Amino acid sequence: MLLLGLTVLFVIFPFIEQQQWHSPLRPLMFPVAAVLGALFIWWDLRYLRRGRDPVVNLRLFGIPSYRNGVLLGMVYFAGFTGVFFIYAQALQEGLGYSALLSGVATLPFAIGSGASAALSGKVVTAFGRPMVVIGAALVLLGALSMAWAAHVVTGRGLGWAMALPMLVAGIGSGLVISPNITLTVAEVPVAQAGVAGGIQQTAQRVGSAAGIAITGSVFYGVLQTTARGGRPNFGEALVHGMLVVAAFVAAAMVLGIIEVVGLRVRARTQRRR
């Protein structure tokens, strides 16, 4: 537990403190995390070989649906969580929205996500992983539409221009998160369900921290560049940030497609046997 906790800490902390901590020691935390992670894997496997129950049963990653689902969730969370961070910064710092109005501007995402999540939970076992791929495609469409809206609309009407893309992305997100969690643990032995769920949640938190840091770095990098010529351009920064979000979501969608193809190949192989 100590090795795993320190590994996660040394991965997440440099991302969280990226804007405040500029010491050269910060990047060094990543190789330390790699060493700690290697030690954790060695200890975990050693514990398992001795016939004991480790904190994380690494044999879980031998289940393709679980391994691929955890990776998909981590990459997806790296994308969609960054949306709210840079959008709030652009609305409040760039356009003078209050915190309340900034929150209201994200309501379409919440409404779409809540509605589609309620529906997807009832049909996820019937549609399977293709539902996650369709959801990721909708989120990708929404992110690209938000980038386009931020490029075209430069005034306080940006919140209205973002409403429909936010709704589309929210509907897609509801088809991704809960169904992916369900499908990821579907083939996990019941005795390992708690551990499997914990690993999945940890991966999502790591993805969120990394995604917000990377998206935020691009956002503030563009702001600093445009500020040299006068007033910082929050619209342009938001466009670039949304494109980073879209790249993460596209990667998650590709992982979902790979899993769908893999499932069909495995099913075909089993039928031949």
**What pLDDT, on a 0 to 100 scale, did the predictor assign at position 246?**
95
Q: List the end-to-end C-alpha distance of the chain, in Å, as a whole number.
A: 41
- Provide the sign of the torsion angle of the four alpha carbons 200, 84, 120, 253, taken in this order: negative
pLDDT digits (tens, 9 = 90+) for 1-26: 899 889 888 888 887 776 677 778 88
Could you tell me how far CA 115 lies from the centroid of its own chain?
20
Which residue has 């209201």 as its token pair? 104
Alpha carbon distance 26, 32 (integer Å): 10
In terms of Cβ atoms closer than 10 Å to its own Cβ (0-12, 13-18, 19+), residue 157 is exposed
pLDDT digits (tens, 9 = 90+) for 206-247: 888 888 888 988 898 888 888 776 788 888 999 999 999 999
Which alpha helices (DSSP H) does the chain contain, by range? Answer: 2-16, 25-49, 64-89, 95, 99-105, 107-127, 129-152, 158-161, 163-174, 177-184, 193-227, 234-272
Alpha carbon distance 249, 230 (integer Å): 33
pLDDT digits (tens, 9 = 90+) for 47-80: 888 888 787 888 888 888 899 999 999 999 999 8
- Count of CB atoms within 10 A of residue 257's CB? 16
- Which has the closest alpha carbon to 165: 176, 153, 155? 153
Alpha carbon distance 20, 145 (integer Å): 31
Q: Residue 132: is its pLDDT beyond 90?
A: yes
The fold of the 61-272 domain, in CATH, is Growth Hormone; Chain: A; (1.20.1250)
**What pLDDT, on a 0 to 100 scale, did the predictor assign at position 229?**
67
Q: Where are the CATH 1.20.1250.20 domain residues in the chain? A: 61-272
pLDDT digits (tens, 9 = 90+) for 156-183: 889 899 999 999 999 999 999 999 998 9
* pTM recorded for the entire structure: 0.86
Letter string b/e over residues 38-68, b meaning 16 or more CB atoms within 10 A of that residue's CB? eebeeebeeeeeeeeebbbbeebeebebbeb
